[in-house]
Amino acid sequence: MSFMEKSIMLQQLTNAMNSNRERRLQEQRELEEMNKNNEYLKDVLDDYKKYHGHIAEQKSQFSGQLNKLVKHLEKEMNDAGLSDQQMRQAKFERNRILSQLDKIKMDIDNLITKNK
């Protein structure tokens, strides 16, 4: 092989190495950017889970308060000498509260299921 051929081959190898180096650097930059995005998405997901957990906790507390209210209402209904009209009204209110309680329990179940 002549000096010129070796020189051309050396130049081609140098160009290929530079091209590979540039491609690796570009891939590294892309991977770093993807990693930043993934970290951001992980943070968003963590925040989302915390938010859902907080909402589920609030709904659980509200559910507990509604249960206390129903028990109190039932106790008052039993202890008080209510007329038939007052008894029907009290039962209506109790059923309305129980209906809200069922909706809240379904919301909590949905939040917990989505959070998993």
Q: Which sign, positive or negative, has the C-alpha torsion 7, 12, 15, 21? A: negative
Give the side-chain half-sphere CA count within 13 A for 87: 7
Low pLDDT (below 70) residues in the chain? 3, 114-116
Helix (H, G, I), strand (E, B) or coil at 89: helix
- Residue 95's nearest CA partner among 63, 62, 68, 73 is 73
CA distance 18 to 20: 5
pLDDT of 87 reads: 78
Quick one: pLDDT at residue 47? 80
pLDDT for the residue numbered 115: 56
pLDDT given for residue 16 in this prediction: 85
Distance CA(99)–CA(91), nearest Å, equals 12
What does the domain layout of the chain look like in residue ranges? 10-115
DSSP state letters, 56-68: HHHHHHHHHHHHH
What residue has token string 């938010």? Answer: 51
Q: Please choose, from the candidates 56, 54, 113, 74, the residue with its C-alpha nearest in 3D space to the C-alpha of residue 82.
A: 74
